Amino acid sequence: MQTRRILLASGTAALAGGASLMLPGMSRAARPAKVKHAGHHGASAAAAPSAPIDASPAMTPIGPVDTIARWACITDFDSGEVLLEKAADDHMPPSSMTKMMTAYVVFGMLGAGRIKLEQTFPVSERAWRMQGSKMFVPLGESIPVQDLIQGMLIQSGNDACIVLAEGISGSEEQFVALMNDTAAKLGMTNTHYMNTTGWPAEGHYMSARDTCTIAGHLIRDFPQYYHYFSETSFAFNKINQGNRNVLVDKGLADGLKTGHTDAGGFGLCASSKRDGRRVIMTVNGLPSTNARAHEGERLLGWSFANFELAAIAHKGQVIDQAPVWMGVNGTVPLIAARDVTFLMPHGWQSRVHVSVDYPSPVIAPVQAGQVIGQLTITLPANPTNNSVVPAAPGDAAAAPAVPQGRVLTVPLEAGGAVAKLGFGGRIAARLGMKRHS
């Protein structure tokens, strides 16, 4: 048994626009020959941050990008690909970005029916005395959960967090235990909470990557509550406060949360969806609110301007015609098992390598939907790596080298059934009187 392998450069243009995997001007006979078998806000302090600003660049797939953020991470929501990172796994003071996890636990309670939006929770003296940003809950009164959520996310109310935690778990400490347990389940390995607000405390930290992770889960797991992050203002107790996320106010993002502490500087976790693509960004350690707004807007715009989702193949698209041995038909169409898109920097489609691998010939009988082979798409890690292996004299199988990089594999299925030849037909085929290859 041999493996039939087709190795192509500029594969995205060949696949996405055509009915089958045929490069312009390439005939079936010109394809490479068969090759050998291959196995299949905490505290809202007014002081400037004491932490020094790190002016070193962030790393991206297209090279270094300057940013004055001390910590940064930008991810693509659908693919999970990291577009930019700078000290993304380092422990940082998350300040009020902590409230995203507080909200996640609250949303989980709502989704499970354990609490309701119209349900009220009493305001304790501890909550009433809580410093930092506040929604100004009155001592001794009971506040609806929905108001508390809005006070927490729009007004960044530390007092609202305490009321919610005590109302759900009896104490903030018990609620924080839920937060840490949830973080572990979500794979947030560089996160540990000491409180629900982000108030500075020893042992309270998150990483920029983990902050993007919880943001993604809020969007994906609780779409029915995500709108709270995009509300531009909320009035409570006759006090109207605007959303502190200037990107939301400008219509550039639909969430999520800002934060500030002396140790951590000014931070922002934001998400935006444009032209069908959503990205999530976390920046922290910035020197001012203006710097936070400017850097957030600049990096968010950069992430949309420099990357695109390229359509490689569509579900059901015929990729190749595989020869069939001992079948009533000589070939069977190979089709993509699902839609295939690849996130890549703009202009990199010509650098994508696509290979099709399947055993040739396929032995009859063949069932429709049977997995026959796979489509492998490789995006080079280095944009300049486009080397070609020189062909030895007479070696028709030489092909462009596949550089190391991100790899995506997709099953190829039989696009139809091929029955096995009858006894007479099989005898004729074995005698060479009838061949299917």
**Residue 136: what residue type?**
F
Quote the distance between the C-alpha of residue 110 and its chain's center.
Answer: 25
Annotated active-site residue 99? The verdict is: yes
Quote the distance between the C-alpha of residue 243 and its chain's center.
Answer: 25
CA quadruple 346, 347, 353, 356: dihedral positive or negative? positive
Between helix 172-185 and helix 158-169 the angle, nearest 10°, is 90
C-beta pairs of 52-56 under 8 Å, 24+ apart in sequence:
53/265, 53/285, 53/286, 53/287, 54/86, 54/87, 54/285, 56/86
Active-site hit among 44, 95, 96, 169: 96
Enter the tokens of residue 168: 């759900």
User: How many C-beta neighbours within 10 Å does residue 185 have?
Assistant: 9
DSSP state, residue 170: S
Annotated active-site residue 96? The verdict is: yes
Active-site hit among 95, 133, 156, 169: 156
Strand extents, DSSP E, 135-264: 142-144, 233-236, 239-242, 255-261
Of the candidates 237, 262, 224, the residue with the CA atom closest to the CA atom of residue 163: 237
**What is the rounded CA–CA span in Å between residue 144 and residue 424?**
80
Annotated active-site residue 50? The verdict is: no
Catalytic residues: 96, 99, 156
